[in-house]
Amino acid sequence: MVKMVSSRLQGRKKTLLLCAFFSLVSSIMVFASSLYWYLLDDLEQRTDTAQQVLDNQMQNIFVELKEVADQATFFCEKDDVKRLQKTTFYSPIFKEYGLFDHDYKLFCSNIGPIDITLYSTVIERLKSSQDRKTVSLSQSNTLSESTFFAFYQREDGLGVNGLAPPRSFSLFIDQILRPDYHYLLTIGKNTIDSRRDAHQHSASHSAAVGVLAHRSVTLDDWSLTLKVFLPTALYWQYCLLLLPFAIVSWLILLVAFYSATLLWHHYQHSLHHCIKRAIKRNEMQVHYQPIVSLQRDKPHELEALIRWHSERHGQVSPLIIVDTANRLGLMEELTWMVIRQVGNFYRDNHTVLKDIKTAVNVDRFSLLKDSFTPMLAELLNQYPELTGRLGLEVTETSALNDDELPLMVSRFEHLKKIGVSLSVDDFGTGYSGLDFLRRFPYDTLKLDQVFIASLKDDHFSRQILTSVTKLAKELGMELIAEGVERQDQLEAVQMLGVDRVQGYFFSRPLPKEQVVAWLLDNTPANTPVCR
């Protein structure tokens, strides 16, 4: 007992450990991948927003430049300088404005007249751009080391450029992307790196140190490229932040896994499942109950009855097996299993069973199926020793509807043609009238044991059985009385004129070895009741 309990506990501990392991692995996987996908999605969304903001910002910049260009002249007089100074003062981005001419020479700025020629790369880009707009990131003589430039040229050749520190340009995208993500914003040939606080460096320089994923967008109209990086550190930061939730979800999964294992364990050991498995694996046995002939010249017969001892549930009643098989839709499989075992029984004991017929129980629903007769014919081919020796005991067929009745009659005729005899089981327990007997080509009629039990004392039972017996004889059917347990019952059914008797009075259902011994000891010739 102690051993059993401790082994159970051991088993439980093992299950719990396994569940803990699997739930931990699954929660880590679910947690890690969900966080990854969440951050990836966030990276995508924020990059899209940053792209839109950049686009808007560029549009605003050029609206501003265009306004300046509209008011500018090819001179650099006091008023022109003043106008540039005023615009610079009110500009949210630009810290300096300049004017250039057809030769791309800067001739005026908000500080006063100047004389600087634009970079050739800028000139090229301006010339090749459709609407004479471009931007660049390069050194400025007057602003910080790295400066953002925007250029716009009117159709008549007059151009305006605005200078801004990259910070004021990237401020808006900083608000969207930082501090979680870092980015490289390439303007023309140079790049702003958000981690270096707007230091200019070559675009080829990789920012992908400790990066989990990245996303790039290009604003073709402005020759801008934004590359946003998801740092691995951010991932770990979130991991730590969400750790309590991860632990809770692990515990939930642990409970779910453990309950599922218990349920599965319970199901595996449930009677239903065990019966199903035993039928599928052919693990049940068949016992045989003699059906004793009351005539010396006729051999005894046998009825095959299912028996099963389950390791977990002990001896299981055939009524439960049949009921469960019915619910699980396994009745046909049960019947085929019994017939196969009967076939093997005949194969192993062909001498003793040469003249013996064996009846197998079959329910009417299985019989009605189209697959039934072909499958039975196949089994008879596999076990030719059963031909002419196999009988089917069909539980009352009176509950059939108008469509099923003709189908069942044709089924019976077919079965008889392939050498299978038929008997009506438990006659009298259902709604069967005597008329029912006329419809079906039965060979044998089995009188139900409830009538036999009350035959001696119950006048009504005696009357019913007398008329049933008379009709069965007229129709050429054999009569079997089942459930005969005592001498007086035997005498009563003998008086009635039955052909065979089945019951504990002679023998209980026996395992195959014992029934062979019984048949050898009890031939009709040495059975005292046989006439």
Q: Which residues bind ligand LFPHGCPZ (CB under 6 A)?
A: 289, 303, 305-306, 318-319, 322, 334, 338, 361-363, 393, 425-426, 449, 482-485, 502-504, 509
Nearer to ligand LFPHGCPZ, 93 or 468 (CB): 468
Tell me how far, at minimum, the Cβ of 467 lies from ligand LFPHGCPZ, in Å: 21
Tell me how far, at minimum, the Cβ of 289 lies from ligand LFPHGCPZ, in Å: 6
Nearer to ligand LFPHGCPZ, 228 or 305 (CB): 305
CA 266 distance to own-chain centroid: 20
Tokens 């050029």 correspond to: 62
How many Cα atoms occupy the beta-carbon half-sphere of 61 within 13 Å? 27
Nearer to ligand LFPHGCPZ, 233 or 399 (CB): 399
Neighbours of 154 (CB within 10 A): 13
Tell me how far, at minimum, the Cβ of 373 lies from ligand LFPHGCPZ, in Å: 17
Nearer to ligand LFPHGCPZ, 8 or 309 (CB): 309
Tell me how far, at minimum, the Cβ of 297 lies from ligand LFPHGCPZ, in Å: 24
Nearer to ligand LFPHGCPZ, 61 or 302 (CB): 302
Q: Is the peptide bond before 113 cis (omega within 30 degrees of 0)?
A: no
SS3 258: helix
Q: Tell me the β-bridge partners of 420.
A: none
Tell me how far, at minimum, the Cβ of 362 lies from ligand LFPHGCPZ, in Å: 6
Nearer to ligand LFPHGCPZ, 228 or 306 (CB): 306
Residue 211 falls in which region: left (phi positive, over 0), alpha (psi -120 to 50) or beta: beta
Nearer to ligand LFPHGCPZ, 86 or 369 (CB): 369
The token duo for 18 is 């396994």
CA 63, CA 120: separation in Å to the nearest integer?
A: 24
Nearer to ligand LFPHGCPZ, 91 or 361 (CB): 361
Q: Which helix (H) or strand (E) holds 280?
A: helix 271-280
The token duo for 251 is 């515990």
SS3 396: coil
Nearer to ligand LFPHGCPZ, 182 or 446 (CB): 446
Nearer to ligand LFPHGCPZ, 44 or 485 (CB): 485
Complete DSSP assignment for 69-95:
HHH--SS--HHHHHHHHHHHHH-SS-S
Tell me how far, at minimum, the Cβ of 291 lies from ligand LFPHGCPZ, in Å: 9
Tell me how far, at minimum, the Cβ of 9 lies from ligand LFPHGCPZ, in Å: 39
Tell me how far, at minimum, the Cβ of 449 lies from ligand LFPHGCPZ, in Å: 6
Complete DSSP assignment for 282-333:
T--EEEEEEEEESSTTS--EEEEEEEEEETTTEEEPHHHHHHHHHHTT-HHH
Tell me how far, at minimum, the Cβ of 478 lies from ligand LFPHGCPZ, in Å: 14
Q: Which of 103, 117, 163 is nearest to 136 (CA)?
A: 163
Tell me how far, at minimum, the Cβ of 366 lies from ligand LFPHGCPZ, in Å: 8
CA 22, CA 272: separation in Å to the nearest integer?
A: 29
Complete DSSP assignment for 482-519:
E---SHHHHHHHHHHT-SEEESTTT---B-HHHHHHHH
The token duo for 44 is 């995508």
Nearer to ligand LFPHGCPZ, 50 or 306 (CB): 306
Nearer to ligand LFPHGCPZ, 179 or 329 (CB): 329
**3-state SS of 122-168?**
HHHHHHHCCCCEEEEEECCCCCCCCEEEEEEECCCCCEEEEEECHHH
Q: Which helix (H) or strand (E) holds 381?
A: helix 372-382
Q: Tell me the β-bridge partners of 447.
A: 427, 481
Tell me how far, at minimum, the Cβ of 319 lies from ligand LFPHGCPZ, in Å: 5
Tell me how far, at minimum, the Cβ of 32 lies from ligand LFPHGCPZ, in Å: 55
